[in-house]
Structure 1
């Protein structure tokens, strides 16, 4: 393989070359064969990946050795440390030697595997997104990871992504441009949005705050156990002994306050790491590119023709603070089974003020106003509220009744806990039921249909009407008595299916027909007393 092939770069056609230009005719004829040969050449990843993976593995093994020494582990465990330290670099060199890729005018291909060989091949026209990232260790060595997404929904999630885990920063950027760009015109990029650190106030309102607070407790326990502090037999018994003598109410209040403070600090730090130097750009060819990250840098590119709409998500605490998330509904950003990774890929803005979310959504869609804000939603009937109130009543009765039954069998304390729990669930359930019912709505505005639902996390989705490829009408047993149904629009973008929840059947069919005329013609009987239903 030539030196050019070994270092992972290849000559590319000159930017700005115009087919048929007389000044380029002489060069194109002589250089076409060389260019095609260069494009078809198999290339290896950057050899610095050997040092990266060996360093990471070595640090883990050395850390384990230090812990074993600290805890006076047997000699045979210490003797097991040197062989992996020697074998890992050899294995990584062998893996690097067996990993090659190439980019042709039609496909991107990857060959991997030491014991089991694998050959992945993706047509370039199937590429939906290109994600360039670099964790701290790779950044030290000047490497990036490129993930090429196809939006494929069959089989495992790995089938939807081709990963090149060791390219230099320059080669990664060149590959990203080659895969996404359809033109070599040099123009200024249009900045749609960038980070505003005043938005940091929304970080403690995210759902991560509570999770990080509890994680801090578990992490502290694991660290103490690792260093030999033996919390099970020393610290925890002492803690329970102290709690038995203390006034419980102040302890509970201070404990919850501590969890909130720790969680808020952790969520703020996570916000800074995730959204550091965030920018959303529109490139000359119309593609959207989002870059962000402090320790782990990410660059996600979505082609404009893959866009199917936008989603504004308002979790409860963030909604109380006047903030929202902004996501693109686009093919290739992940399926419903990959919801977390899908939202990471499709995020168009950090948690930000609702007005800014609407502005960015409108700019992404090239609309004067965000469809999720300009639409006049049709509210759903009281039947949707009654259904949610029934669920709250059944849930409270079930939990309270179970505790009361256990109290009759075991102790009177559970009886009081049972009826108290039932009352709390009734009250909270009624509030959430009312909020969820008020959030329901649907409508049509311009090129988009809009649906909204949710209370704990309210979602407003605007879908392009020409991107809807089908409708599903679902009517459960508890729907039929009240005449409700759930109408689901299927599309090639985002999660693939978006619901209009708990809408009356005639209104749902009318909305579907207005949104995408003629799509239901084969399933709906018109002009008769009896309205047909879609399957």
Structure 2
């Protein structure tokens, strides 16, 4: 590290001049680098006037009839409010508002059908839409990251699907609502062809007829068209049901029911107050009783919602001969199928919030080039719902084939200085808060005892600091690097070495005094960069050098006698 500055950065390109351009790893790294460049600089907009010889297609006309039925159903609450309930029994405006919202949404859907067109050219997929404001979006076919089809109940009744075409960027991704089932499947196969559509080319060679016949006789039979990696398991429902948000899951439909019953002269709030004996118990005991009743009912609501969304779940690897893909199928009334190009998958990501960690649960997503974490494509990145950690590791070993699973690799512990730093910050924060509250109490802006809130938060902050330190870790496993961090939400990422396009080493003054460094890993996949905080200096340099030796040799050189620690230029 360069001494004298409070922060030192070292960044280098993953495809250095010393790499062999004929090696397979370098070629794959070049593809990753191209994906990274795509994120920063887009292609010139061809405009909807390009390719005039290719006609624009309409969406399915069946949605017109679905919208007519939806319009009739939307008018029903308004008719009920103005004709049947035209009495002083209760306010009818909730029903009128519901009817107006339904009619407005139906009219918008019909206008969207009238103005939306799409087409597929040799190099891109295009859609133009918009009534008052015209919109034109396109996705180059080589940048399509996922093709997702979903079906709601009204689409199922009409025999249509909604096709989502994802590029990893929300500004270019779009959906086609809706296409007939044969058209949607044909579009999916056209954009992400599988083994059934692309037969494998047979090698052509000049050989004797008898030799060719002998080779064809011993040629292995093709494998199964699909490999199922995970299926729906009944215990998954229990993992999803028990949540701190269960009360809110039950409260939302009760709130809607309250406003629905108001026009009929039924006051749900009065009924609940009578059941809990609000006058005798008081506010706090009544609230506790309502929560005790609402929580188990909310648990049931969460369980039903999970079953509706994930029934018949299957994670499948298609037996492709051209472009392999991972796909997920799920849903009961509303089904969803997501296709992901497996050649662009660069690793896996486990997320474990604190409560999940205690229960041994995690959520699994793939790290894919061009697919941003936190974008609209999050649904395409997730490959498993909330499951036990050992189940997620079993699936990870199947997804990341060819070597021992990196998600099970033992992680190196970071130095004690990382714990000391977190404990200090956990002390400074509550102390500062207590000081501010004490000053506000002295000025009579708050009660005198308010500063005790900061004191009470101190042990909580210390516990969070300990969790944050215990979560730190890193490892190298085969062709993957593994980093883990996070106090309240522990994040474990396994990333292919070839997906690393650079390194950024940051070292504050206090980190330099404690011989620690924070490593940032830029990549065109997933969240675009991953962070390994407060690693030991020797640990970090050894980690960088072992993960990408050709790249590390450009800015890390040994100093002094053999065996002494290395320094970055």
Query: Shorter-chain TM-score category?
Result: 0.7 to 0.9
The alignment status of 1:213 with 2:213, answered yes or no, reads no
Secondary structure of the residue aligned to 1:485 is: strand
Deviation of 1:226 (Å): 5.9
The alignment status of 1:455 with 2:500, answered yes or no, reads no
Distance in 2 (alpha carbons) for counterparts of 1:72 and 1:490: 58
* 2:302 equivalent in structure 1: 267
* 2:547 equivalent in structure 1: 515
Task: Please give the per-residue CA displacement for 1:165-218, whole angstroms capped at 9, x wherever unaligned.
Answer: 11112321221122111542495211111111122221134xxx3234235435
The alignment status of 1:303 with 2:341, answered yes or no, reads yes
User: TM-score with structure 2 length normalisation?
Assistant: 0.73
Contact 1:448 1:465 in 2 (8 A): yes
* 2:239 equivalent in structure 1: 202
Distance in 1 (alpha carbons) for counterparts of 2:489 and 2:104: 50
Q: How does 1:136-147 map to 2 (within 5 A)?
A: 136-147=153-164
Contact 1:190 1:283 in 2 (8 A): yes
Deviation of 1:227 (Å): 4.7
* 1:33 equivalent in structure 2: none
Secondary structure of the residue aligned to 1:396 is: helix
Shifted more, 429-438 versus 439-448: the winner is 429-438
* 1:46 equivalent in structure 2: 60
* CA 255–449 in structure 1, closer or farther in 2 if over 3 Å, else same: same
* 2:31 equivalent in structure 1: none
Deviation of 1:406 (Å): 4.1
* 1:96 equivalent in structure 2: 113
Deviation of 1:450 (Å): 0.3
Contact 1:203 1:351 in 2 (8 A): yes
* 1:8 equivalent in structure 2: none
Deviation of 1:363 (Å): 0.6
Shifted more, 108-117 versus 60-69: the winner is 60-69
Contact 2:74 2:100 in 1 (8 A): no
Larger relative CO (CA 8 A, sep 6+): 1 or 2?
Answer: 2
Distance in 2 (alpha carbons) for counterparts of 1:408 and 1:83: 52
How many pairs align? Answer: 479
* CA 87–430 in structure 1, closer or farther in 2 if over 3 Å, else same: closer
Task: Please give the per-residue CA displacement for 1:401-424, whole angstroms capped at 9, x wherever unaligned.
Answer: 444444444499x444542x3344
Q: How does 1:216-227 map to 2 (within 5 A)?
A: 216-217=250-251, 220-221=254-255, 223-225=257-259, 227=261
Contact 2:147 2:192 in 1 (8 A): yes
Shifted more, 143-152 versus 266-275: the winner is 266-275
Contact 1:379 1:441 in 2 (8 A): yes
Tell me which protein shows more helix as a share of its residues: 1
* 2:387 equivalent in structure 1: 352
* CA 512–53 in structure 1, closer or farther in 2 if over 3 Å, else same: farther
Deviation of 1:272 (Å): 1.3
Distance in 2 (alpha carbons) for counterparts of 1:79 and 1:277: 37
Deviation of 1:130 (Å): 0.6
* 2:417 equivalent in structure 1: 383
The alignment status of 1:63 with 2:54, answered yes or no, reads no
Contact 2:352 2:362 in 1 (8 A): yes
Deviation of 1:494 (Å): 1.4
The alignment status of 1:487 with 2:519, answered yes or no, reads yes
Secondary structure of the residue aligned to 1:469 is: coil
Deviation of 1:246 (Å): 3.0
Contact 1:331 1:492 in 2 (8 A): yes
* 1:151 equivalent in structure 2: 168
* CA 367–257 in structure 1, closer or farther in 2 if over 3 Å, else same: farther
* 1:192 equivalent in structure 2: 229
* 2:177 equivalent in structure 1: 165
Contact 1:444 1:450 in 2 (8 A): yes
Task: Please give the per-residue CA displacement for 1:269-307, whole angstroms capped at 9, x wherever unaligned.
Answer: 222122111001111212111011123211111111110
Distance in 1 (alpha carbons) for counterparts of 2:405 and 2:412: 17
Deviation of 1:360 (Å): 0.6
Contact 2:155 2:161 in 1 (8 A): yes
RMSD: 3.8
The alignment status of 1:120 with 2:137, answered yes or no, reads yes
Secondary structure of the residue aligned to 1:379 is: coil
* 2:329 equivalent in structure 1: 291
Task: Please give the per-residue CA displacement for 1:410-445, whole angstroms capped at 9, x wherever unaligned.
Answer: 499x444542x3344222222222122111100111
* CA 477–291 in structure 1, closer or farther in 2 if over 3 Å, else same: farther
Distance in 2 (alpha carbons) for counterparts of 1:254 and 1:472: 54
* Structure 2: 5+ residue stretches without partners: 1-50, 200-221
Distance in 2 (alpha carbons) for counterparts of 1:228 and 1:203: 33
Contact 2:91 2:262 in 1 (8 A): no
Distance in 2 (alpha carbons) for counterparts of 1:57 and 1:379: 61
Shifted more, 53-62 versus 116-125: the winner is 53-62
Distance in 2 (alpha carbons) for counterparts of 1:132 and 1:437: 42
* 2:205 equivalent in structure 1: none
Shifted more, 384-393 versus 279-288: the winner is 384-393
* CA 365–88 in structure 1, closer or farther in 2 if over 3 Å, else same: closer
* 1:30 equivalent in structure 2: none
Contact 2:347 2:366 in 1 (8 A): yes
Distance in 1 (alpha carbons) for counterparts of 2:241 and 2:137: 42
* 2:19 equivalent in structure 1: none
Distance in 1 (alpha carbons) for counterparts of 2:504 and 2:328: 33
* CA 238–279 in structure 1, closer or farther in 2 if over 3 Å, else same: closer
Contact 1:359 1:369 in 2 (8 A): no
Contact 1:221 1:231 in 2 (8 A): no
Distance in 1 (alpha carbons) for counterparts of 2:454 and 2:97: 59
* CA 337–278 in structure 1, closer or farther in 2 if over 3 Å, else same: closer
Deviation of 1:221 (Å): 4.1
